[in-house]
Amino acid sequence: MAGALRGERVSLETVDIDKIDLVNQWFNDPLITKNLNVGVLPMSKDKTRDFLVRAQTPTATDRVFSINALDLPEGEEAYIGHIALHRIRSIDRTAELGIVIGMRQHLNKGYGTEAIKILLDFAFREMNLNRVSLTYKDFNLRGQKAYQKAGFQEEGRLREQVYNNGRYWDMVIMGILKKEYLAEKIT
Amino acid sequence: MLKGELVQLKAPDRSALPAYVEWLNDQETRGYLAIESTYPLTMAEETNWYESMLHKENDKAFAIHTLADDVLIGNVGFHNISWKNQAATVGIFIGNKNYWGKGYGTEAMRLALYIAFQELNLRRVELGVFAFNSRAARSYEKLGFVVEGRKRQWVYRDGIFHDVIEMSMLKEEYLERYLKEDEKRWQEL
């Protein structure tokens, strides 16, 4: 798609409502959803549609992109995830990052990390944000690894912020600043 | 987490509503259920239920599908969830009679209890079962529900009043039976 944010292995494009069946599968795979805010309860197709309708309409506070793999064999589904900036604050120049790689076979392949790097580039060098933060559930080691690789550092934790599988877990807060991103970019 | 050996719980789909209407209008099935609606249940009423379910915070419904071939066979849901008191009422029915008496309902309830205690953070789940519905009562007891009372002459069916047996399960009772199994499944995700 023209104008997409392209990297080497993924491009960020608009959200596609026609992918509703695919996205509904992601949202009903507990291996995927345990790490998301929505959690492991099943999600109906109607709820998924609501989400996609909202996601494909950028607002002043929220931008959602699809993550599309560029290196998969012809014919294989390339629409592999979503990545977003939420709660964009125009005065403070901040936003919160959210990401999902929805298909099991594409986890731990570096797609998420590259998508985050592309989005950070857009956030700092296009949108002129000063700070991007995120939170992840304490047990989400896959997420932690990707965020560290993309340059985020841990800033604190929201103790016992979330309830999953019978107990409360901390949410870890991470952040990256524009100056950190640009310094890393130069070196 | 929502898959057992016989059944899996899914989000109810709009396309399932005609089946629900048919099942809930079946005289035998209906006889076991505490539905207050007038007979027959209409598609309009059921659609209203579905629409409201999408937005309600204190009701949650799950479609029961077979694991082997993904056939919709019934529904299990929590009603009147009291978030403050961490308690809810559970209701279940298997509409497809081919799956009665074979453990499908029992396992669906067991998965629903996982949701209640381990994901919804509830501490108490209660249900009522008509005194003449001994098949259901046995299933609930097998799962670990405890009888805590009897509402006398609570429901009028077939020309007479019947008692309702009140049963409940607390989180500590759930954990004693199912914690190990749940931990294993969580680790295997």
- Residue-wise pLDDT for B63-114, tens only, equals 999 999 999 999 999 999 999 899 999 999 999 999 999 999 999 999 999 9
Strand order of the β-sheet with B146-157 is B7-10, B60-66, B72-82, B87-94, B124-130, B160-170, B146-157
- Enumerate the domain spans of chain A: 5-133
| Nearest CB neighbour to A46, from listed B14, B118, B119 | B14
Name every chain A residue with its beta carbon within 8 A of the beta carbon of B175: 166
Q: Which residues in chain B are contacts of A29 at CB distance < 8 A? A: none
d(CA A108, CA A104): 9
The mean pLDDT value for B135-150 works out to 97
Q: Which residues contact A23 (CB under 8 A, 6 or more apart)?
A: A48, A51, A52, A82, A102
Tokens of residue B55, six digits: 């937005």
Inter-chain residue contact A47 with B11, CB threshold 8 Å: yes
Which pair of structure tokens corresponds to residue A148? 């560290």
Q: Point out the residue among A31, A46, A166 whose CB comes nearest to the CB of B117.
A: A166
How does the average pLDDT of chain B come out, rounded? 94
- What is the per-residue pLDDT for A98? 98
d(CA A69, CA A52) in angstroms, rounded, equals 19
A166 contacts B10? CB cut-off 8 A? no
Question: Tens of pLDDT along chain A (187 residues)?
Answer: 445 799 999 999 999 999 999 999 999 999 999 999 989 999 999 999 999 999 998 899 999 999 999 999 999 999 999 999 999 999 999 999 999 999 999 999 999 999 999 999 999 999 999 999 999 999 999 999 999 999 999 999 999 999 999 999 999 999 999 999 999 876 6
Band (pLDDT 50/70/90 cuts) for residue B34 is confident
Considering only CB atoms, B119 lies closest to which of A40, A43, A44, namely: A40
CA distance A130 to A181: 10
Q: Using an 8 Å Cβ cutoff, are B63 and B13 in contact?
A: yes
Whether complex ipTM tops 0.85:
no
The correct CATH number of A5-133 out of 3.30.70.270, 3.40.630.30, 3.40.50.12780, 1.10.300.10 is: 3.40.630.30
Q: Give residue A41's region: left, alpha or beta (phi > 0; psi -120 to 50).
A: beta
Query: What is the share, in percent, of chain B residues with pLDDT greater than 90?
Result: 85
Give the A:B interface size as CB pairs under 8 Å: 49
Residues in chain B, how many?
Answer: 189
- 3-state DSSP assignment of residue B68: coil
